Structure 1
Amino acid sequence: MYYSQERTQKISFSQPVYEFSQCVFFPKNQEKIRNITELKGQKTGVSGGSAQEQELRKKYPEIEFIPFPMIEDMIYEARKGKIRAFVSTPASVLMTLNRLGLTGEFESTDEKLFSRKLHAGVL
């Protein structure tokens, strides 16, 4: 679970147990994206209802973020051209692409948007 001031009102958090970063993914058969600012005015997938969605919307208001319930949905919509790119963690995307038989069809930016630490949460 991600730490936030708001959540500390209801949950106690452990020390961080895992850290990861997020980056932009896009189909290899489309124009290369070097950083997230190139997505200004474009539809970009993000995990709906997540802390990352809130943070990205606040930091990059000029990008049209489209919430999705699952990584698979973002991958399929990017392949169809419905969204230009999506933001997620490399490990999750690579695992999902492998499971879907789509390994090698997507690229990611070298830019790390932010790092997040996962904590155990106790009510």
Structure 2
Amino acid sequence: MSRYGPRIAALERRAERDRKRLEPEDEQPEPDDATTYLREGAGRAIWLYVEGRTGGRMVRFSPAELDALERAMNAWLECYARCYGVKLEADFSIREAAELLLETRNVDDVGQLLTDVPSR
């Protein structure tokens, strides 16, 4: 386990709680909540990966840590899509998301580019 293990575990737990909160199909979150799921959720997971890979000393995330980061990020991307009325089964790689974040420098763009929500 890397030094990021506890932070990754906390992110994954929080993402799962957020996703469960949106499970009742009759509950429709507000589009304004989408930004929160990206910035406070998926963006933090993506940035943790970027930090570990570019922070001067490259971190070797274990396969379990990478899986947990991806599960957290994908859970928040699903919450983000739900805010726009789209049910999505997100299965994106944390690396792909990190590359988009470094390219665009905007987590809102990352969410839209990965999920195509909202459509352009």
TM-score by length of 1: 0.24
Q: Of the two, which has the highest radius of gyration?
A: 1
TM-score by length of 2: 0.25
More strand by share: 1
Q: Which has the higher contact order (CA 8 A, sep 6+)?
A: 1
